[in-house]
Structure 1
């Protein structure tokens, strides 16, 4: 624990959806949902406008559509998200060499390792956070971030939650217990509905209530590791250091769900989506891995991993997804999973092609691939997922508004153009080609 508030946590607000709203002027201020669009699709991110309808991450897209049928439902564009994330992380590294990215939209920063640390009193820390947020908005074209600053990683993350959306919150050293006391126990990382219910039966509703339990009571109820951690966090104790990226020995993608998930089909769809994201990260770094690991956390916080080692290293989304979902079939999810992750280790900088993998995409809930209409079968098949960037030979850049039945509808607008017109074309129109992400 530190005597000064020198740990910063930054979280970009509704990141995927915010990037889509930034790049698609007609969607600004409207509900936007990003994720799988098919019958088995899962929500990745919902804009704040969509969240007012109860839409959340890991929800089935079909349920989201039922709650808010007028929202814009878009497939993901990870190239755009990575580009925006890169700008944000570069700005954070201007503050300090110790930046610990947690995902594309979230990172810890050790302000004590930066040049400005000597002058960082509370007012200085707050001013620095505001400047960083302003710079991020300017450099990314308007994306907003919530920033928390405190004496530990746990409190800094709590502070950024208090700052949401689009704000700054600084926890003054010495006030940590006062800040935590009235909060629901759900504010502590890892406390989900099942754990909260167990605690409720003991009369524990707030962090202050939790503080009244002895460590032996918590370890008896929740297990040694989790009970000990919860006992410390309830008292604001967190000694974890901010760790900058080191040599990559493994890569992984994981998500903690707002509510426990029991449906194996939903979990398989999430694992497949994670495999695609993991494949993108591997290819971006020019790396591959030989061992695929599935990480799961049950409703009671019991955590397990299962691994499978391939004949050779791979960066292929299909291979990773097939292996991860195969491992998932060995898991009993009937009591609910609160976390799922897919990782790759045994890293290499080359790939062993799997000659026995069928040339098809894993089923992650994406739109069906459209084929050319009759009389134009020589033209290669083109997928037009909703939200994808496209370019028309005469009308210029736009994005896919919708597709099906041999047609594709495009809205012609860019980040700086303002809302644009909508036009519909044959799916195999030679004037229409997949576009590139605007830098």
Structure 2
């Protein structure tokens, strides 16, 4: 049986929630990421995108492009609340839901006794009725093509990609559209004259493996419309962390330690909620000239207490020679283990 895969992607989610909560923002360029010039754009409304603003752009650059924009801080707890409403709709349809982020997911509806287009329209209608938000839906027989389709008619679009459209539909597309091709790989491929999927089809599987490593085989088949990846309903958490852009560039370690203490408390709380402990502590730094650095320490034992995480973070920081001021600092933990807990009988 041919699979029926849907990829759902909310339209400018954070900005759309702000426009819904503040109706006077509708139709205006809304940029979410902070009112400080030192912030980074998390997302922006389609009105703001017309000015060339995009996610990950520094706020000061966005303000140069759109000085009259509405600049707002991130309200993650609010977006998470709305996200739960949306995902409840997905789970009403099927248990085979793979969350990719707070505003994006795959659904495998192969066993749902309705046409995929009916399900897509149902999702769009229910999300609009319950949240007032729009989304874009891609429908196909595998994950790669479904995700490709959801981006086709944004915003508020639906696109179906069927087997008979392949490979002609794919040939003129940029290699940047292929899952597994990052910026570095695309640049290397461009350097040898590979710009479109049609160009890439001239390369052998062996060459792609040599060029891209283990992803080469997947990419070779994907551009021919073959993707056998299954829906992953339980996504494993790889790391937990926090980071912030500083109000002022600094290399004052005592000040940086104050921030790390706040982060250590948040991280320890997240570990406690998930019944996890960690062996690897990482500090992330971005210098004033936007150069990123990370420094990690992996222990031979697990820990989960605030004071222990904070102490290791401070030890890492103390060992570093900060030759330049920092504009961002972050703390993350990884390499998890589960805490041992005794299961008590209800009658004991």
Match in the other structure for 2:154: 164
Find the residue that maps to 2:86 and give its secondary structure: helix
Tell me the residue number matched to 2:220: 231
Q: Residues 283 and 220 from structure 1, CA distance in 2 versus in 1: closer, same or farther, beyond 3 angstroms? A: closer
Inter-partner Cα distance in structure 2 for 1:311 and 1:238? 38
SS at match of 1:162: coil
Contact 2:10/2:104 (<8 A) preserved = yes
Give the deviation of 1:342 after TM superposition.
5.5
Structure 1 distance, partners of 2:194, 2:19, is 41
SS at match of 2:43: strand
- 2:229 corresponds, among 240, 263, 288, to 240
Residue 61 and residue 235 in structure 1: after superposition, are their counterparts in 2 closer, same or farther (change >3 A)?
same
- Alignment check: 8 A CA contact 1:10 1:146 kept: yes
1:149-188 correspondence to structure 2 within 5 Å: 149-188=139-178
Residue among 182, 198, 222 paired with 2:188: 198
Judging changes above 3 Å, is the alpha-carbon distance between structure 1 residues 127 and 17 closer, same or farther for their aligned structure 2 residues?
A: same
Aligned match for 2:202, one of 207, 212, 215: 212
Unaligned runs of 5+ in 2: 243-250, 285-293, 322-329, 341-348
Q: What is the CA-CA distance between 1:181 and the residue it aligns to?
A: 1.5
Q: Given that residues 4 and 173 in structure 1 are in contact (C-alpha distance below 8 angstroms), is that contact kept between their aligned partners in structure 2?
A: no
> Relative to structure 1, is the Cα distance of residues 245 and 66 closer, same or farther in structure 2, using a 3 angstrom cutoff?
same
Q: CA deviation at 1:127?
A: 1.8
Whether 1:135 and 2:129 are equivalent positions in the alignment is no
Q: What's the counterpart of residue 304 of structure 2?
A: 313
Q: In structure 1, which of residues 278, 282, 285 is the aligned counterpart of residue 270 of structure 2? A: 282
When the two chains are superposed, the root-mean-square deviation of aligned CA atoms in Å is 3.8
- Taking the aligned partners of 1:280 and 1:26, their CA distance within structure 2 comes to 39
Per the alignment, do residues 319 and 215 of structure 1 end up closer, same or farther by CA in structure 2, a change over 3 Å counting?
farther
Deviation at 1:189, TM superposition (A): 2.5
1:75–1:293 Cα change, 3 Å = same
Equivalenced residue count is: 300
Please report the TM-score for the alignment, with normalisation by the length of structure 1: 0.59
1:230-275 per-position Cα deviation (integer Å, ceiling 9, x unaligned): 22222222111002127x6655589xxxxxxxxxx9xx9xxx9xx7
CA contact (8 A) 2:163 2:225 kept: no
Q: Distance in 1 between matches of 2:268 and 2:135?
A: 24
- Contact 2:145–2:225, Cα closer than 8 Å, also in 1: yes
Measured after TM superposition, the shift of residue 209 of structure 1 is: 1.3
